[in-house]
Structure 1
Amino acid sequence: MGQKEILAVLSGFPVPSHPSGIRPLDAGYINQSFAIEYEGKPTYVLQQLNTVVFEDVASLMDNLNLALSFLQDPDYPGPELIHTREGEPCLTTSSGEYWRLMTFVPDSSSYLFCTSERMASEAGHIIGVFHQLLSKADPEQFKTFLPDFHSLSKRLEQFDKALAQASSDRKKEAAPALNFVQTKRAQLLEKEDELLRLRVCHNDTKMSNILFSKKDGKALCLIDLDTIMPGYFHFDFGDALRTVVNPATEDERDLGKITFNRTYCEAFVSGLSKASPNLSPQEIRYLAHGAQLMPFLHGLRALTDYLLGDLYYRISYPGQNLDRTQALFQFTSLVESETPFLEEVIENYFPA
Structure 2
Amino acid sequence: MGYDLKAIFDSFVSDSSFAGANPCGSGHIHDTFFINTAEKDKDNYIVQKLNNKVFKNIPELQENIERVTIHMHQKLLLIPGSDVKRECLTVVPAKNHKSWIVDEEGNFWRMFIFIPDNISYDIVDSEDKAFEGGRAIGRFQALLADLPGKPLNETIPSFHDVEKRIDSFISSLMNDPAGRVKETISETDSILKRAEEMKIIQKLGREGKVPVRITHNDTKFNNILFDINGKSLCLIDLDTVMPGYFHSDFGDAIRTGANSAAEDETDLSKVKMDLNLFRAYAEGYLSETRNTLNTIEKEYLAFAPLLMTYEQALRFLADYIEGDKYYRIHNKNHNIQRTRSQLRLLESMEEQYPRMQEIINKLT
Which residue is 2:141 aligned to? 131
Distance 2:10 2:183 in 1: 48
Offset at 1:158?
2.5
Answering whether residue 96 of structure 2 is matched by residue 99 of structure 1, we say no
The one-letter code sitting in structure 2 at the alignment partner of 1:49 is L
Which residue is 1:82 aligned to? 92
Which residue is 1:274 aligned to? 287
Mean alpha-carbon deviation: is it higher for 127-136 or for 138-147?
138-147
Distance 1:23 1:90 in 2: 19
The one-letter code sitting in structure 2 at the alignment partner of 1:217 is G
Answering whether residue 34 of structure 2 is matched by residue 35 of structure 1, we say yes
Which residue is 2:258 aligned to? 245
Of residues 238, 243, 248, the one that matches 1:225 is 238
Mean alpha-carbon deviation: is it higher for 326-335 or for 125-134?
326-335
Which residue is 1:203 aligned to? 217
Q: How has the CA–CA distance of structure 1 residues 125 and 166 changed in structure 2, closer, same or farther, with 3 Å as cutoff?
A: same
Distance 2:260 2:33 in 1: 27
Offset at 1:11?
4.5
Answering whether residue 131 of structure 2 is matched by residue 118 of structure 1, we say no
Distance 1:5 1:174 in 2: 49
Secondary structure at the aligned position of 1:220 is classed as strand
Deviations 1:39-85 (A, max 9, x none): 7x994333333323321222111111100012222166122112223
Contact 1:114 1:243 in 2 (8 A): no
Q: How has the CA–CA distance of structure 1 residues 32 and 166 changed in structure 2, closer, same or farther, with 3 Å as cutoff?
A: farther
Contact 1:113 1:247 in 2 (8 A): no
Secondary structure at the aligned position of 1:272 is classed as helix
Which residue is 1:297 aligned to? 311
Contact 2:259 2:273 in 1 (8 A): yes
Which residue is 2:79 aligned to? none
Answering whether residue 359 of structure 2 is matched by residue 345 of structure 1, we say yes
Deviations 1:226-257 (A, max 9, x none): 11111111111111111231142322333233
Q: How has the CA–CA distance of structure 1 residues 199 and 64 changed in structure 2, closer, same or farther, with 3 Å as cutoff?
A: same
Offset at 1:348?
0.3
Contact 2:155 2:239 in 1 (8 A): no
Distance 2:175 2:36 in 1: 47
Which residue is 2:25 aligned to? 25
Distance 1:316 1:47 in 2: 27
Offset at 1:325?
2.6
In structure 1, stretches of 5+ residues that fail to align are: none
Offset at 1:318?
4.3
Distance 2:153 2:273 in 1: 35
Secondary structure at the aligned position of 2:313 is classed as helix
Distance 2:67 2:158 in 1: 21
Which residue is 1:235 aligned to? 248
Offset at 1:213?
1.0
Distance 2:285 2:351 in 1: 22
Answering whether residue 181 of structure 2 is matched by residue 171 of structure 1, we say yes
Distance 1:149 1:60 in 2: 15
Contact 1:300 1:325 in 2 (8 A): yes
Q: How has the CA–CA distance of structure 1 residues 302 and 11 changed in structure 2, closer, same or farther, with 3 Å as cutoff?
A: farther
Answering whether residue 151 of structure 2 is matched by residue 150 of structure 1, we say no
Secondary structure at the aligned position of 1:193 is classed as helix
The one-letter code sitting in structure 2 at the alignment partner of 1:99 is W
Please give the TM-score of this superposition, normalised by the length of structure 2.
0.85
Q: Find the structure with the greater CA-based Rg.
A: 2
Offset at 1:174?
4.1
Q: How has the CA–CA distance of structure 1 residues 254 and 19 changed in structure 2, closer, same or farther, with 3 Å as cutoff?
A: farther
Question: Percent identity among equivalent residues?
Answer: 33
Which residue is 1:69 aligned to? 70
Offset at 1:13?
3.0
Answering whether residue 189 of structure 2 is matched by residue 189 of structure 1, we say no
Distance 2:234 2:329 in 1: 28
The one-letter code sitting in structure 2 at the alignment partner of 1:199 is R
Offset at 1:121?
0.9
Distance 1:310 1:17 in 2: 46
Distance 2:168 2:186 in 1: 19
